Structure 1
Amino acid sequence: MTRFWFILLLLVAPLRAVNAQTQIISVSGQARCGTEKVVGALVTMLQPTDSSIVAYATTDKQGLYTLKATIQLSEVLLSISGFNIKRKTTRIKAHSQTFDFHVEEENKTLREVVIKSQKLWGNRDTLNYFVSAYTRGKDRSIGDVLQKLPGITIENNGVIKYQGTPINHFYIENLDMLQGRYNLATQGIKAEDVATVQVLENHEHIRSRQDQTPSERAAINLKLKDKVKGIWSKSANLGAGHNFDESLWEAMLQAMYFGKSKQHMLRYSGDNLGRSQEMGTDHYGFSSEGNSRMVSLVEHSSPPIGNGLFGYRHSINLNNLAKLSDSITINYNFNYSHNLASGHSFSQITYLLPNGEKQLLMEDIADRTHTHSANVQLIYEKNLQHRYLKNALSLWGRWNEGRGDIRSAHQNQLSMLNGTGGESSISQALHYRSLGMSNRTHWVHRTAKGGGFEWTSTNRVSTTPQTLIIGGERRAHQDIEITSISTINGFSLLRNLRTRKWTLSTSGNLNTSYTILTSALAHPNIPVAPHGDMNHLRSSVDLGPVAQYTSGAFQSKLSVPIALTYTALNNAVVEGEETDAHRLRLYLQPSFSLQWKATDYLTFNANAHYSASETPWRMLLTANVMQNYRSLSRYRATLDNSYGAGTHFKVAFKDIFTSMFAHLEGSWQRSWSDIAYGTTLDAQAHTIVEATYMPNHSNRYILTAYGRKDIDWHTLQIELSATRSWGKSEMLRQSVLTTYRTTGYALRGTLSFDIVSGYRLDYRSTWQRQRSTAPQHTFTHDELNQRAELSLRLWPSRLFLNLHASHTHNNSLTSERKDYLFIGSSLQFKLSKKVEFNLNGDNLTNIRSYSSRSIGDMENFYSEYYLRPLSITLTAHI
């Protein structure tokens, strides 16, 4: 292991860790206003860099206070505030001393300083969560604690949201080393190493844009404890176990350094436990990798509960940041993963046809896919008060090798009645490559009077060869190669919104994309256009005024750009068809947004937009393309427009005095077009994608209410959310445009509390109902999911037992079994502060298969998943 750490250290620039001296200081004194003693005032000791609280106290009846803190700072800020006195802040040397406050009287209601039982405090725009107050004995990583904080939720895919909206930055000590890959931090940083989690509401990272309309999104900043700053911290996990099928293993080696001018996170992890989440995934910001996949395997389905993923994974993540000055940083990151995913499932799809009949497709699917993914980033950022420059260079590659076998059967209305149908065996193989490079530049320049401009430019080139081979009774071979070149450029004039109510500026964009595609298809049922060559060029320039109104905490923005686009399309010649097209068009695409921070408790956001988009190049290829073994597509060279309009609103409430967070949001989306895209099913239930001139439209509405309340009594947490969605759409099937309606309801709840000290119960449940109605067909789907977790402290600070059970009830299943119960447990023993052992048992009820039913767009799905068996693993955390 020593050799491993040595090799990793050679991958980064040599560091010389300088350990600042830790000291305990005591500051005391008296507060006076004239000759009167100030009683009940709040005295806080703050860090000078970000004003986070180090210690606090209130003055007693004699106006006296005492602050004690363990710090590594040379200077601190001392601040006093209270009712009817003017806030005063002073910088002092960080050593024990006596300091008396002499304050002035001020008859003004304070809006800034609040504090809540040492757990949660903040001001109008920043919240601070004291991590140790939310940490339980079994919590290891900061991610375990984040999902318990009021106002913060973590989705199943790892996305962090605040008040229902994804965050836009994740800082560690005010530095964004990971550039969106924050799962590495949430799972890699120990909870005990974090002092405070900060939420920066309406966060604007660029200093020279902080006078503009603030973002709706928040950022998260981790404030580390002094003991882990400026030193290399190393950790390792080694685990082994077994189930009924194979031996199990997991390993993790990690080294981290968080200093004032440098940050490093070096990590290897791997296992064969069926973990599907990739920690190196981008969750915000600009993603460099494109998506030009046009062929794929028909793969096994993943169960909504239980674990149906077999295989292994390896990942290496080397993330580094160097702070050259207070305003200049450099990131150099490398992330690589290698996964083998395999699985087995059975599915039955019921297609609803416009004439009232049904068609069934049944598939028994087994597949395995090897995936290699790599990404290299080099980022330079200079963030000054009047100038900002960021350049991000990315290189990426992805390789997929997949194979699968399918036993397929189909039935139509007649064969369902007499019990007959056709069967076939299919083999499939996929070879996919994607290589690319992108460079993104962001430049902001401001003048002393508040004027200036903002410019962004993103340039990308990629190549994506891909092959799909079908064997068995129906052999086919599809080759596609795609080369894409694009440049996206934006420019806008900036005005200082704080000095005037009305401002008028201009914004514009200049974008060009060029796509080259070649395809070759060998298929027994394709007499026309088996080969294709397509060149697609699209250029657009838009320019328009931007009007903004600001009045105190109310801000609104209206943008009215006019876009001029030119498109040139060239396809391979198909006899009797028009395969080329050229067009010049003018579009108006207005948008409106507003934000109103009505009080410290209440915020309102709303936006509306109207847009027009042209037929994408994927739907202009006149050659036949086999997307998978059961789907063929062939389009016409018809350039047309699709239109969309929508609105969204959100009302957010927070009261950190009472730990109450809530929001209500709703949206409406409407889309319409003169070209309808749909499918025609043949006798084997295989689909042929088609496009035809047929005006169509759709409407969709969503309304969500959310609330969370924390109560000190038994550390009680209550969380509730309710969502209703409904809509009307039109679908083209069998060359008939069919109207169908959908309605959905979802109720989610969480209840957590301490039964007694050291014994805690966490319960959450989700109930969903979906209803789809089409002519002569109505489907309804009901499902209930519950999870209960009981945490027991058997030996204080040493031994913890965790028991968890998951239950699901699907009322739509036609079989007798509609309920499934999964049970698991873990025993955690802390040998010392640095050594810990975990004994984990998964799927103790040894359920090997799980069934579910759901509905889609004029389709009904039934699936049987084959799950991983009962397993036992022992893991050592060092």
Structure 2
Amino acid sequence: MNMKKNISFFLMLFMVVFTFAQKTISGKITDNDGVAIPSASVTIEEPGKDAILAYGITNSKGEYKVTFTSPESNVDLKVKAFNQKPLTKQISNSDQTLNFKMQSEATEIKEVQLKTKMITARGDTISYDLKAFNSKNDRTLADVMKKIPGIEVSTDGTIKYQGNAINKFYVNGKDLMEGGYGTINNSLPKDAVQKVEVLENHQPVKILQDKVPSDQAAINIKLKNSVTMTGRGEVGAGLGEQLLWNVKLTPMFFGQKSQWVVNYKANNVGEQVENEGNILAFGSGWEGRRINAGQNSWLNVENANTPNLPVRRYLMNNVHYLSANYLVNIDKKKEWELKASANYTNNSVERESHSETDYLVNGQAGPRVTQDIFNNFYTDKLKGELIFTKNAKKGFFKNTTSFSQYWNADRAITNRISTSASTNSRNGAEALESPTSSFQNSLSTIIPWKEKMVNVKSYLNYQTDRQTLDIAPASYLEIPGFTPGANAESVRQNFRLKTFEANHSANLGFSAKGWTFTPEVGFNFKSTTLNSSLTNLQNGDYFGYGDKYNNDLTYSTATPYGSLGVNYKGESWMLFANFPVNSNNIKADDPLRNVSKSSNKVTFEPNLFVQYSFASFWKASVTGNINNNFGEINSAYSGYMMTSPNGISVMDSNNPIPQNNSKTAGSRIEYRNPLNNLFFNINYSIGDTKRNLVAAPILDPVTGFTLIQYKELENHSKTNRFSAEVGKYFPKFKTNASVSYSNALTKSDAFLGDTPYLSKNNAQNYGFKLNNTYFSWMSLDYTLSFSRTKQDNIGLSGRLGTNTGFNHNLATFFYPIENHTIGFNWDQINTSDGTRNYNNAFFDLSYQFSWAKKKIDFELKWMNVGNRKVFETYSINDRTNSTTYSKIQLRPSQVMLTVKFNFK
């Protein structure tokens, strides 16, 4: 199905929702004496069906308004209120005003009980009663969040609502973690939580809440007590092939004026705890700019493969992670907040793999390269952050200062065998040192000025990266056109990168009748300086090529711009758009080659989002944007650079400045009905990226080493994506179930040497999740994923391969006696290319005794019962026109005894 047909199909699907005209019923609900009844529920249902089409709640004046869509000629209207007799009336499917008087009816209360609904909705807030979704074995917030309909917790910890990442994570309305919420989600005891609230269309900046809408949702964790001292801890020891240990200590305090979390986690059992502090929610752009600061990793040792498995199955680690977050109100009105955070990571990782790569050359079988890689990765990282915030209806201020320092080092020992190489076996030792310093400061303030708003933003970023890659012996390298010095014992690649970035802007906002217009002017500047040299360590020469293996390049971009922001928020419609005009001035100076290149382009880069809410439960939206990117310094250097021991990269100094133009459009239909616990969403998007440069790697047909180069040629990469997800909670069976499907088709123009081809990748994924707590003696969690990827290199070798994957996880817990739990876990990961099948099964057993009075658990767990030590899989690499069989070392069988407890 081509792109035009796909667009037509989805537009037809999109229009089905609007086949029947919407109808609106409004009016007033009173009692016999004419007194308004607030908080009465008004629902619209199709006759004879137990399905609610729409609902509304009366306000303090007893007024209601319900909008719905139905093909039926008549519908049922039902009104319910406390101490009033329920009322049902069949009405015509038309716009009308209906007022009702309700008859008093005293409610006889036989027992004093309080029963809350599992899911309730009021306005843009959907509340989930946590007790309705947990099982006996759940201990933390994250355990329960994974089971709530409409909410998904990704493998990296990101929380998604209806398929989209949240923009804020609050605890009792305060944003302590500033997006790094993984620590709280993983360590907050579920017993401390009253309910989870989803704040739909959440604008976190209060002064903008009635002026600038948002399409993202936020999560607010409402605790049982306004002042809460809590937290979670674990201490464990065990045996595998070595002595094992695991420590987790996370005390927390949540008060009305202050909050804090201290977190120490350390283990050598394969748990990846060091990423808990990563920023997962970035808030609103009006708050300024925040990033997950990281290294510019240009140089790399050869890395052992990693499997598509839960990290705990293969990670050979020894990690210590310490973090602290603190929030305090510094004024009596509780408008000003000071937040301070810091974290430190010390981690060492071992990794080992065996791979066999078969290359296709000119449509014929090329060399087979067999490689064994053993890695040691060492991470030393320190980060600190200080934030001052005022978020009030009458003004906004936020300044964020952050600093990061890395002292990282990587090692690799490799053995490489090529069936066609003149030297059959090659052994290499590789070492990388990579210290990095990074500093950012972001300021944003919004000041009310009469009926207008003035917003000023400033962002500064400075980072230095030093990297040194050593390879010994030099004869290990066999890259096309590359010959080490005759007496070379080893080779060194030196690299240094300095980056300075400054973004400044000012805008004036004014509002009228739901519309807000924001004209803005700004200036963005970025300058990057690259210095590198590739040297022979024995005699200090550059392989006889002089400056060919040196780089001394400055790449700068200066972009003054003007834009107009347009926002609208009404009862049903929501719109935000931006219409910027950018003057892009790019310059690349290379004094080593007497080359100075520049490009000056004026671009128009609009973006648009429109959302329509209807019939109480439905939302439909469309998006579109145009973006221009003029490359970075990594696409502009002209000297040869050994970015990895298996390849050298270079740009032609005669190539122009890179220019990439991307156009994307998307649509979405969303349904969420808290009355019958049903949630689903459908998404479709298309994209086209046009580039003026294309990578054209030269593959050595003997050794498999590559030289990466670029050609000046217009080329395109086109994408076509469709996804759908349906989730429902069945209260009668205490079951939450969801199914999902996605299809992504990518077509890219590509080169291998001088041979052009079309790279076509089609990836499909089917997913299913089930959580069940129906039986008092058992609970079950099950996830399944089936994927199918077809890779065609049309014009090069045809069908490169079809890779299928099957992945499922079954976790069951049995409760034969009170306070005793027996657990069974089964991970199954299968891959196939149609002829070769690789099946990998993993089993775990556990027994847990709970000391209920002290809220302490004693767990004995046996991981990898079958003692599977390697993982086998098959993969496709379209860029090098190759297929690879991999065998990856896993963690052996291990037994752990762990004590788990709450701090209070």
Structures share fold, TM-score greater than 0.5:
yes
2:408 corresponds in structure 1 to 400
CA deviation after TM superposition for structure 1 residue 34, in Å: 5.6
1:480 corresponds in structure 2 to 495
1:237 corresponds in structure 2 to 234
Amino acid of the structure 1 residue aligned with 2:326: N
Q: Deviations over 1:137-178 (max 9, x none)?
A: 111110101111111101111111110001111111111111
Q: Residues 877 and 760 (structure 1 numbering): CA distance in 2 closer, same or farther, change over 3 Å? A: closer
Amino acid of the structure 2 residue aligned with 1:790: T
2:245 corresponds in structure 1 to 249
Amino acid of the structure 1 residue aligned with 2:134: T
Alignment match of 1:300 (pick from 304, 310, 320): 304
Q: Deviations over 1:49-69 (max 9, x none)?
A: xxxxxxxxxxxxxxxxxxxxx
- Aligned 1:649-728 pairs, distance under 5 A: 649-682=667-700, 683-728=702-747
- Aligned 1:546-561 pairs, distance under 5 A: 546-548=565-567, 551-561=570-580
CA deviation after TM superposition for structure 1 residue 446, in Å: 2.8
Alignment match of 2:856 (pick from 818, 831, 835): 835
Q: Deviations over 1:484-542 (max 9, x none)?
A: 11101233332326x155x5542333111111221111258673522221122211111
**Contact 2:328/2:337 (CA < 8 Å) preserved in 1?**
yes
CA deviation after TM superposition for structure 1 residue 655, in Å: 0.5
Q: Deviations over 1:108-142 (max 9, x none)?
A: 699xxxx9962111223111111122111111110
SS in 1 for 2:733: helix
2: distance between equivalents of 1:108 and 1:630?
A: 78
1:427 corresponds in structure 2 to 429
CA deviation after TM superposition for structure 1 residue 263, in Å: 0.4
Amino acid of the structure 1 residue aligned with 2:320: H
- Aligned 1:552-701 pairs, distance under 5 A: 552-574=571-593, 579-637=595-653, 638-682=656-700, 683-701=702-720
1: distance between equivalents of 2:129 and 2:517?
A: 43
CA deviation after TM superposition for structure 1 residue 83, in Å: 12
CA deviation after TM superposition for structure 1 residue 558, in Å: 4.0
**Contact 1:403/1:428 (CA < 8 Å) preserved in 2?**
yes
Alignment match of 1:752 (pick from 771, 779, 783): 771
Q: Residues 732 and 780 (structure 1 numbering): CA distance in 2 closer, same or farther, change over 3 Å? A: same
2: distance between equivalents of 1:397 and 1:81?
A: 56
**Structure 2: any 5+ residue segments left out of the alignment?**
1-28, 42-56, 65-81, 88-96, 102-113, 283-289, 477-489, 537-541
TM-score (norm 1): 0.84
1:272 corresponds in structure 2 to 268
- Alignment of 1:344 with 2:352, yes or no, is yes
1:6 corresponds in structure 2 to none
CA deviation after TM superposition for structure 1 residue 234, in Å: 5.6
SS in 2 for 1:818: strand
CA deviation after TM superposition for structure 1 residue 759, in Å: 1.2
Q: Deviations over 1:273-332 (max 9, x none)?
A: 111252121212221514422101211222212611112110111100002232111101
Q: Residues 518 and 822 (structure 1 numbering): CA distance in 2 closer, same or farther, change over 3 Å? A: same
1:802 corresponds in structure 2 to 823
Alignment match of 2:841 (pick from 797, 821, 829): 821
Amino acid of the structure 2 residue aligned with 1:656: P
2:471 corresponds in structure 1 to 470
1: distance between equivalents of 2:466 and 2:406?
A: 11
2: distance between equivalents of 1:239 and 1:549?
A: 55
Higher relative contact order (CA 8 A, sep 6+): 2
How many residues get paired? 779
1:436 corresponds in structure 2 to 438
Amino acid of the structure 2 residue aligned with 1:862: Y
**Contact 1:770/1:780 (CA < 8 Å) preserved in 2?**
yes
Amino acid of the structure 2 residue aligned with 1:374: L
CA deviation after TM superposition for structure 1 residue 549, in Å: 5.1
Q: Which has the larger displacement, 246-255 or 299-308?
A: 299-308
Q: Residues 108 and 137 (structure 1 numbering): CA distance in 2 closer, same or farther, change over 3 Å? A: farther
Q: Which has the larger displacement, 817-826 or 155-164?
A: 817-826
CA deviation after TM superposition for structure 1 residue 40, in Å: 11
Q: Residues 201 and 799 (structure 1 numbering): CA distance in 2 closer, same or farther, change over 3 Å? A: same
Alignment match of 1:314 (pick from 303, 312, 320): 320
Identity of aligned residues (%): 19
Q: Deviations over 1:553-587 (max 9, x none)?
A: 2133443322112222211423xxx6321332222
2:804 corresponds in structure 1 to 782
2:528 corresponds in structure 1 to 515
**Contact 2:169/2:219 (CA < 8 Å) preserved in 1?**
yes
Amino acid of the structure 2 residue aligned with 1:517: L
CA deviation after TM superposition for structure 1 residue 425, in Å: 0.7
2: distance between equivalents of 1:357 and 1:643?
A: 37
2: distance between equivalents of 1:109 and 1:568?
A: 72
**Contact 2:213/2:567 (CA < 8 Å) preserved in 1?**
no
CA deviation after TM superposition for structure 1 residue 385, in Å: 0.9
Alignment match of 1:854 (pick from 872, 875, 888): 875
1:58 corresponds in structure 2 to none
SS in 1 for 2:127: strand
Q: Residues 701 and 525 (structure 1 numbering): CA distance in 2 closer, same or farther, change over 3 Å? A: farther
Q: Residues 109 and 340 (structure 1 numbering): CA distance in 2 closer, same or farther, change over 3 Å? A: farther
Q: Residues 358 and 126 (structure 1 numbering): CA distance in 2 closer, same or farther, change over 3 Å? A: farther
2: distance between equivalents of 1:183 and 1:208?
A: 28
1: distance between equivalents of 2:37 and 2:664?
A: 54
2: distance between equivalents of 1:108 and 1:862?
A: 72
2:553 corresponds in structure 1 to 534
**Contact 1:163/1:661 (CA < 8 Å) preserved in 2?**
yes
Amino acid of the structure 1 residue aligned with 2:624: A
Q: Which has the larger displacement, 762-771 or 524-533?
A: 524-533
- Aligned 1:5-16 pairs, distance under 5 A: none
2: distance between equivalents of 1:606 and 1:32?
A: 40
Q: Deviations over 1:332-355 (max 9, x none)?
A: 101111111111111233444455
Q: Which has the larger displacement, 547-556 or 395-404?
A: 547-556
1: distance between equivalents of 2:34 and 2:569?
A: 42
2: distance between equivalents of 1:136 and 1:356?
A: 57
SS in 1 for 2:204: coil
Amino acid of the structure 2 residue aligned with 1:375: K
Q: Which has the larger displacement, 547-556 or 748-757?
A: 547-556
2: distance between equivalents of 1:86 and 1:691?
A: 67
2: distance between equivalents of 1:38 and 1:455?
A: 47
SS in 2 for 1:145: helix
2:342 corresponds in structure 1 to 334
**Contact 1:124/1:600 (CA < 8 Å) preserved in 2?**
no
**Contact 2:642/2:648 (CA < 8 Å) preserved in 1?**
yes
TM-score (norm 2): 0.82
1:198 corresponds in structure 2 to 197
Q: Deviations over 1:78-107 (max 9, x none)?
A: xx95999459xxxxxxxxxxxx999xx995
SS in 2 for 1:208: helix
Q: Residues 495 and 850 (structure 1 numbering): CA distance in 2 closer, same or farther, change over 3 Å? A: same
SS in 1 for 2:256: coil
Cα root mean square deviation, aligned: 2.9
**Structure 1: any 5+ residue segments left out of the alignment?**
1-30, 44-79, 88-99
CA deviation after TM superposition for structure 1 residue 448, in Å: 4.8
2: distance between equivalents of 1:293 and 1:249?
A: 31
Amino acid of the structure 2 residue aligned with 1:409: I
Q: Deviations over 1:638-669 (max 9, x none)?
A: 31311111112221110101110100011111
Amino acid of the structure 1 residue aligned with 2:329: K
2: distance between equivalents of 1:197 and 1:389?
A: 28
**Contact 1:706/1:722 (CA < 8 Å) preserved in 2?**
yes
Q: Which has the larger displacement, 557-566 or 671-680?
A: 557-566
